[in-house]
Structure 1
Amino acid sequence: MSIATPSPRFTDPAVFGRVAVLMGGTSAEREVSLDSGRNVLEALRARGVDAHAVDGIPALIDALRGKQYDRVFNILHGNKGGGEDGVLQGALEALGVPYTGSKVLGSALSMDKIRTKQVWISEGLPTPKFVRIAPGSDLRAAAASLGLPVFVKPSCEGSSVGVFRILADSDLDAAEAFAAIYAGELLMEQMVQGDEFTVGIFGDLALPSIRIVPAGEWYDYHAKYIADDTQYLCPGLEGDDETTIRDLALRAFRAAGCSSWGRVDVMRDRRHGFQLIEINTAPGMTSHSLVPKAARQIGIDFETLCWMVLETSVDTAAGPEVGAR
């Protein structure tokens, strides 16, 4: 299936003004964000953009109060000091500073896996059965209600931080130890038996799917960011199946109030078909990251991808928002 390749809207880097590439922060995904941020910064500068690294939200707010930047390329990951939970977006909206990525609602909702799934269910979209685990709740009772195998994960983290694969009752020991020290809610969901996919979203376009084939038993933090033997097959599917997964991902992205760009993770259950897992509103831009791989499949190189993501912060109806300094 052919996909029409979008083209950049601008050619002059001056349209962006002075750009803050926001990275690092204080979330559990700091190191991944720093890696992503360095790559984005290099790509934008290579295209002539006046781009500068800013580490974390407090440093950004101080700089914006001093009128140092015209817009923000947000490549923070995670919450609690990461830039994906709506807090950063709310601050930038209040300051009138344009930025990349989803707005307040889409960012806050999709950061919370439990609430995202509740929205999907209300929209009739498929997602694995789950149980919300409040702090202090009984994990073993929840596992018994769902039936093994299950995954246990924080509702508001990413990059496979704090994820446990529960195949037998004995596997719950480690998850219980983590739950005892973790202050937030946990999500326990039925494990999908089948293939793992991800679909990058850019505006109204769903990029070609990627089928993820880790060398190990599952796609954990090591397989995502360290291992070189994970296979990424793009496009991950063909024909009607590829059309279906891309359509489902775009519907899921919109249902959660997301916009600009992002990534939707999907599994294909051997019995029940495609199942939505989660949304990432500030996808990684590391050497192992998936949105750049999908973009390359339709002829968009990394530098152009970063440029076009930055373009989403420009409201063409109102004209470029340059000159805030």
Structure 2
Amino acid sequence: MKIAVVYNRESQAVINLFGTQNREKYGLETIKRIKDGLTAGGHEVKTFEGDKNLIKNLEDFMPSVLSGERPGLVFNLSYGIQGRGRYMHVPGMLEMLGVPYVGSGPETHALALDKVVTKILLMQQGLPTPKFAVLNKPDSPLVENLKYPLIVKPKDEAVSFGLRIVNNEEELREGVRVIYEQFNAPTLVEEYIEGREVNVALLGNNPVEPLPPVELVFHNGPKIFTYEDKKNTSGRTVEKVCPAPLSEEETKRVQDLAVQTFKALNCYDSARVDFRIDQDGNPYILEVNSMASLGSDGSLVFAADKIGLDYTKLVNRLIDVTCERYFGKDFFDEESHKSSSTADKLFRRVTQSRSKIEADLKTWTNMSSRTEDAVGLSSVRKLFEERLGKLKLDQVDALTNGRSAWTWETKAGLTDGTLLVVPIDVPGGRNGFPIPYRREQEWVFGEGIASSRGGIATVLAALQALKEEKLLSKTKVGVFFYADEGRGMRYSSQMLVKAASRAKQVLVMQPGFAEGKVVDQRRGTKEFQLIIEGDPLRIGKESKSSDVLSYFIENAEKLKSLNSRKKKVAVSVQDMKSERYSVLMPHRVTATLSVTYLDETTATEVEQELKKLFSGAKSGMKTYMEQVVDRPPLLRKKLNPIIARLKEWTEAKQLPFGIESSLLSTAAGVIPSETPVVCGFSPASRDLYTPNEALHRIELVQRSLLLALYLQGE
């Protein structure tokens, strides 16, 4: 699964820096060990700083998931950047985002960081903790009857910041003054328990597993574990002994108290509880570390190793207990996976390949293949053929012209199967620079990413999933891809008709609409090239003749009268250019006129009106009009078996689905009327055929899954 290791180290990327700054940092070596351990456990791992950019980074790394798909996970190491409640910041963000994470929630960190609140909770639960008082300022009176020596420490700091033993009033006031000046915080004062220092690390949730107790042995200096000891700057060595040399009864006693403390503060996954054991063997709970250190010298790591959990096993065990908490005990149940249905197996194949699918989409998008770019088209064709060959598909020579159309089929053949129709060209000439791939949370951008590349990536992802489940060779599938979408399929349409006549059904891999909508009706398109020629005229010269540009503009305005919403027909000028000599008026106008329609009779009538409109050229002018594109419409049918089957699958897997009609013509229009066809099977698009063309990111996975499910036919 995808795991983001989130920590705080160097970044101070916040809107404003103020207040208490974090002094706790994980070393780069520890972060690397955790990442390497998780990678060794089979996970896809990235590391991020826990700053204001975290949401964007997680959105990019962990996009929205499908219903039934387990989301990614955050391995939280974040101590925060600033503020008194900084442990809570990243968990709070993750709660808001709906991202599962390792470790306790923000409410637990708030309790554990406030040592006074922790002690009050422990006392309410009847759990032993040293007597204490709180001094807000250096001169605050100590009214509680506490016996020296005492311990002073900030009430809401960690890793023993400001910790020291005081033996009299003078030392107490000095200790409180230092804490007040350094941390601007009240001081927790508690009785010092003469004796041994022991801690118990805990793993899991239900049940919580206490690890063997660890004793800290102080050979010289004060018998407390200071910040300098933890950072190895005190000049002394504090020995860790595990299991601590306690009696069986004493061991069980501190372990039981640790578990009760873990539950009292509502900790999750792991923690560490620190104890002092007095000379009579009575344990006292000092505090709870809700983010027990995973540094190589930490007590949690030390104790885990003693029970056979080396570092790699420990970090992966933390993932296991977290996943069990979020997703249930059968999360890693291989037997339940083996007995699942073909549909469930395909679901896992596709969803677990999400990163590969997006990487594949990026590869295709960054390969330029505009309609007029023969070299780019050749590169894309060769790579597509190479990929189909690896999937064990074979080229069908009788359905391939080698120039604009190619057909490949599985071992089971195309006959009475499903034909997938994919354009490999991006409509347009070779002008301008290609638009590179870029990714956001919901949308991915790039040249032709929706009009061509989304279809290619979806087809390959679905076929790959079928191959991995050993289903592809037995599935009747053909792939027809063509390279003249930008020319209105002028050269490939006849070959597509032949290929479709063999198939039982056809899916056209053009972009659909948001919310999973496919297209079952599209308008047809007729394009005409119009040429108007006349005499070259001088600017300002009086003449009975009209210049050709003015004549064209005058008549182009009249095209609006041919539009009809009722008849579902629209006429427009798609292109226009003029030619002239030096300072003379234009003597030639060339224009492309487009007619989109549903009814062929209506389109023929409009064509006649166009000819009539431009046939009455004025004196000295000549007009020529020729049809250059003829793309038939896709007409909606009342009973489309493809739609019915897609509805079944989308309802079963809780995928979005709907039906839409479109004004744009596609290859679907040339499919013989007796062959069921659905268009718009590729992911939804935005700003199609513009520099801002985008593809809906989650639909890339949804459509790949739906295509795989549909093709396997279960």
Instruction: Give the alignment's TM-score, normalised by structure 1.
Output: 0.84
Counterpart in the other structure of 1:294: 303
SS of equivalent to 2:259: helix
- Asked which structure has the greater CA Rg, the reply is 2
Gaps of 5+ in 2: 13-20, 64-71, 333-350, 355-440, 442-697, 699-714
The equivalent of 2:279 in structure 1 is 270
Could you tell me which amino acid in structure 2 is paired with residue 42 of structure 1? D
Separation (CA, whole Å) in 2 of partners of 1:177 and 1:184: 10
Q: Verify: 1:149 aligned to 2:160, yes or no.
A: no
Q: Is the 8 A contact 1:35 1:285 kept in 2?
A: no
> Who is 1:260 aligned against?
269
Aligned residue type for 1:85: Y
Residue equivalent to 1:52: 46
For 2:327, what is the secondary structure of its paired residue? coil
C-alpha change, 1:38 and 1:132, in structure 2 (3 Å) is farther
**1:83-162 equivalent positions in 2, closer than 5 A:** 85-134=87-136, 136=137, 138=139, 141-142=141-142, 145-162=145-162
Q: Displacement of 1:225 after TM fit?
A: 3.0
Q: How does 1:282-321 map onto structure 2 within 5 Å? A: 282-314=291-323, 315-317=326-328
Give the CA deviation at 1:71: 1.7
Give, in angstroms, the shift of residue 143 of structure 1. 8.1
State how far apart, in whole Å, the 2-side matches of 1:67 and 1:45 are: 16
175-184 or 206-215, larger mean C-alpha shift: 175-184
Matched, 1:20 2:4: yes
Higher relative contact order (CA 8 A, sep 6+): 1
Q: Secondary structure at the match of 1:99?
A: coil
**Residue matched to 2:473:** none
**Structure 1: which 5+ runs fail to align?**
1-15
Counterpart CA distance in 2 for 1:267 and 1:143 is 24
CA-to-aligned-CA distance 1:93-131 (integer Å, 9 cap, x gap): 111000001123222211211111110000000000111
TM-superposition CA deviations, 1:64-109 (whole Å, max 9, x none): 2445472210112378369873332222111100000112322221
In the alignment, is the contact (CA less than 8 A) between 1:197 and 1:265 conserved in 2?
yes
Quote how far apart the aligned CAs of 1:61 are: 2.4
Task: Work out whether 1:233 is the aligned partner of 2:217.
Answer: no
Q: Which of 224, 229, 238 is 1:223 aligned to? A: 229
CA separation of 1:82 and 1:75: change in aligned 2, threshold 3 A: farther
Name the counterpart of 1:244: 253
Q: Cα gap change, 1:257/1:32 in structure 2, threshold over 3 Å: closer, same or farther? A: same
SS at match of 2:277: strand
* Distance in structure 1 (CA, Å) of the matches to 2:287 and 2:253: 17
Asked if structure 2 preserves the Cα contact closer than 8 Å seen for 1:75 and 1:83, the reply is: no
What's the secondary structure of 2:79's corresponding residue?
coil
Counterpart of 2:157, as a letter, is: E
The amino acid across from 1:23 in the alignment is Y
Q: Which residue of 1 aligns with 2:485?
A: none
Paired with 2:151 and 2:47, the residues of 1 have a C-alpha distance of 36
Q: Residues 105 and 79 from structure 1, CA distance in 2 versus in 1: closer, same or farther, beyond 3 angstroms? A: farther
**SS across alignment from 1:284:** coil
The answer as to whether partners of 2:80 and 2:89 remain within 8 angstroms in 1 is no
Please tell me whether the aligned partners of residues 33 and 77 of structure 1 are also in contact (alpha carbons under 8 angstroms).
no
Q: Percent identity?
A: 27
Counterpart of 1:200? Answer: 201
Q: Name whichever of 311-320 and 223-232 sits farther off.
A: 311-320
What is the SS of the residue equivalent to 1:242?
helix
| Aligned residue pair count | 307
* More off after superposition, 294-303 vs 64-73: 64-73
1:214 and 2:218 equivalent? yes
SS of the residue aligned with 1:292?
helix
Q: Which amino acid in the other structure matches residue 195 of structure 2?
A: G
Which of the residues 35, 44, 48 maps onto 1:41?
35
Aligned to 2:497: none
Selected match of 1:80 from 65, 82, 98: 82
Q: CA RMSD in A?
A: 2.8
Segment of structure 1 superposing worse, 204-213 or 308-317: 308-317
Secondary structure of the residue aligned to 1:303 is helix
Shift of 1:180: 3.2
